[in-house]
Structures are given as C-alpha cells and as structure tokens.
Amino acid sequence: MEIENKIYDLLIIGGGPIGMACAIEARNKGLNYLVLEKGALVNSLFNYPLYMTFFSTAERLEIGDVPFTCIAPKPGRQEALEYYRNIQKHFNLNIQLNERVISVNKQQSGEFIVHSEKGWYHARNVVIATGFYDIPVYMDVPGENLPHVRHYYKEAHEYAFSKVVVVGANNSSVDAALECWHKGADVTMLIRKGEINNRVKYWIKPDIENRIDEGSIKAFYYSTITEIRQNEVDVFTPDGTVTLETDYVLALTGYRPDIEFLKKCGITISNNLFCTPQYDPETMETNIKGLYLAGVVCGGMETHKWFIENSRIHAKMIVQHVITLQ
C-alpha cells in the first residue's frame, strides 16, 4: 500500500474502549478520523481471562452515551465484548483492525506520517491510546522462557489436577489462584510483599485470604523466584531458598505500556521507575505538538492509575483541543 493522499484530522492508534471513545468524539465533531488497531476490536479485553469480572460497574464502562445494560452488579469479559461490538455496529466507526502501527513521525510541514504494517497515512493530529496489556513485566530469572511458564492466564481447565505456582498478589494472580484451586489444582502463591495487594477486588480479597489461612492455597510471603527448571522452581524466602515441585508457573507479575514506542515517537519519558510520558493534563497533548495520549498509557508504569471509567474524558479533552487549534 502506498502513502494515502488523504490527510486525516485525527489518526487514533488503538481500538480499545478509549480509542473508540476518541473516534466517537471525532465523528460527532465532524473530524476526518481513522483508527488503527493491531488486533481485534478491544483487543486487550479480548485477551483477558475468559471469566474475568470488571471492578467497575457497567455504567462506568459506557462510551458514546450508549447505555451498557448488565444483569449482574459487575459485568464480565463476555458482556463487555458484546457491548463494544454493539458500539461499533451503532456508530460504524472508521476502524482498521489487525494493522499494527510501526512508527509515527512528524514532518517539517507539521503533519504526521504514520507507518503501519500495511501502509502509510498522513494526519494533522495523532492520538496514542494503546493501553498496557501487550508487554508483561518479566521477572528476568533463568528459565522464564520455558514453555510451562505463562505470563497470561485464560482459564483454569488446563491446570486442573496439576501443581501450579502463581507469582504475584494482584487481581490477575488472585483470580487465577482461586480458579485453578476450584478446578482441583495444587496451588502455591509467591508474594513479593507481606500481604495480598489492597487493590484486589473487595469481594475477592477475603476469599483468597481465607483459602490461604486455612491452608487450601499455600503462600510464601516476602518471596521471589530465583530460577525455573522443567519441574521445579527455586524460591528465595525469608527463611532461605526453597525448591518447589511444579507443573506450571503462572508469572502474573503485571503488564506495561510500550514505553519504547512512545520514545520512538519523540515523547519525553520521565527518568524514574514510573517512566511517565510527558503530556498536558488539560489537553492530553504531549511535548510533540499535535501528538496526544489517552487512557492507561498516560500512567507509564503506574498502570493502576488510569482505567476506562476515569479516562473516557480524555476523548473530549483531545478533540476539543484539536478543534480549537483548527
């Protein structure tokens, strides 16, 4: 595909809920826009565990002023996918799926050339709304690349009647530990700190703590993996190194935005552990004029800072700023 002659007012990278919200706002304001999504519609949600339940209530996941009806107090993955598919059917947004963006380069003319796996596009303004679920936070220990080590968890059936080591104490780790235990797995949790993370869903946290207290699920606190082998792992604990037998290691140690891609685009990144990208909180514009951030990617490594419910407003902020500068 050659470079398009068309110049988009707004090109949005990422077809998740926030990218879709930006597209809806651009559509409503009469902007010529395009969304490029590397995978399926709302690709991160599609890759969530099959039976995941959101922390947010349905109305806090709504975009485009379209109601999200849900019988249960909290929607699950399947309901969310259905809702966002219906959003796409309703608005018929200009989204191109399965098209990963490789680079974003600003020209001397002030316009951007966006290079994807399938072609090149001109845009006056660009929004990066790529989320954070694509890159695991690796442990960087020997054996982490073995086939029985997983950084993503889909469902428990595969792990039934097996010895499973779950690394982490956040929502994904706790959900996986409980589900695997319910399906008959022998579960051991390795927890870097001295307790289950306080951000774990409030209706789940007592459950996992009770299972640990009664011994149904074993837990090592203040502990980290130091090496993984085919059928065992070495764990550093306050009482010294212990070796555990295991069939699977679920290293659910979190995920992070593609910081390298942001740097490649020219965005300034803070020189600290959070790797926070520079942007104006009033407009969401980065240090590159016409290049904006929206959604979870704004928090850098602080992936718990932004969610669908509190970053939907980014869409209106960005589009309003774009219109003001026209």
What domains does the chain contain, in order, with CATH numbers?
A: 7-135+255-325 (3.50.50.60), 138-251 (3.50.50.60)
Q: Which amino acid is at 10?
A: L
pTM over 0.85? The answer is yes
Query: Looking at residue 143, what is its pLDDT?
Result: 98
pLDDT at 2 > cutoff 90? no
Q: What is the DSSP string of 114-152?
A: EEESS-EEEES-EEE---S-SEE-----TTTTSTTEESS
- pLDDT tens by residue, 80-109: 999 999 999 999 999 999 999 999 999 999
Query: Looking at residue 304, what is its pLDDT?
Result: 87
Give the dihedral of Cα atoms 162, 163, 165, 166; nearest 10 deg.
40
Give the dihedral of Cα atoms 205, 210, 215, 218; nearest 10 deg.
10
Query: Looking at residue 261, what is its pLDDT?
Result: 97
Q: For residue 323, how many other CB atoms are within 10 A of its CB?
A: 14
Query: Looking at residue 1, what is its pLDDT?
Result: 54
Which token pair is 71? 């019988």
Contact 6, 93 (CB under 8 A): no
- pLDDT tens by residue, 25-57: 999 999 999 999 999 999 999 999 999 999 899
